Amino acid sequence: MSKSFRTPSPPQVVYPDDDGQPMSENTLQFEWIVTIKGGLEARFRNRPDVFVAGDLLWYPVEGDPLIRFAPDTMVVFGRPKGYRGSYKQWEEGGIAPQVVFEVLSPGNRTPEMTRKFRFYEKYGVDEYYLYAPDSGDLAGWLRANDALVAIPDMSGFVSPLLQIRFEPGEGSDNLKIIDPQGVPFATYLELVEQREAERLRAETERLRAETERLRADAERSRADRLADQLRRLGIEPEQGG
């Protein structure tokens, strides 16, 4: 009697959505990651074909889940917005993130950052920016053929893809990232404070306008009373021109 044998199915490749690494190591690093990611989302809020993500695992090679990194922030032109557990490049039309930001913490080590640099260089990143908020150091690289080449001077540099301007300050935590309209990226607290300041300015302007209206009404009422008194005396008041 013959027996039939089933060829076992190959094991399914699992691409975890979490690498077990913390998003940040301190509050300053976390604040900058959130600020950059939020600022870029606001910058491209009207572009449905620009995807911005923070701390999202990027898998560039199908079938090898060990080849991966989670940039602090990445920008992908040509891909729709929306939820993703990870960025599997072969499911995204083969499009690699074109822009990557990393924010350093004191715990980052040179070998780790070197591996990240080589990864981004190998798998197609066109612009790579590295910021150390503790020292204020900012570095950037642009793709030239198959390599990422250092930008000589980041002061006033405008990203070719993002069209944002970098203004490094003196000392730590003084970087300004400015959008094409001249508006700096801001923390959520700064945005709330700006909104509150705008509300107070609007309320002050409303009260000023109301005061001016009441003053004008009072002046008209006083003029009307004076005109009535003159008429009772037989004097016709002059008409204002």
Give Cα 236 distance to the centre of its chain: 69
Q: What letters, b where the CB count within 10 A reaches 16 and e where it falls short, cover 46-80? A: eeeebbbbbbbbbbbeeeeeeebbbbbbbbbbebe
Alpha helices by DSSP H, 14-80:
27-43
pLDDT tens for the 241 residues of the chain, in order: 445 556 555 568 898 888 767 666 788 889 999 999 999 999 999 999 999 999 999 999 999 999 999 999 999 999 999 999 999 999 999 999 999 999 998 777 788 899 999 999 999 999 999 999 988 899 999 999 899 999 999 999 999 999 999 998 766 558 999 999 999 998 877 777 766 767 767 676 776 767 788 787 778 888 788 778 878 888 887 765 4
pTM here? 0.77
The pLDDT assigned to 241 comes to 47
The pLDDT assigned to 23 comes to 65
Residue among 41, 70, 33 nearest 55 (CA): 70
Side chain identity, residue 208: R
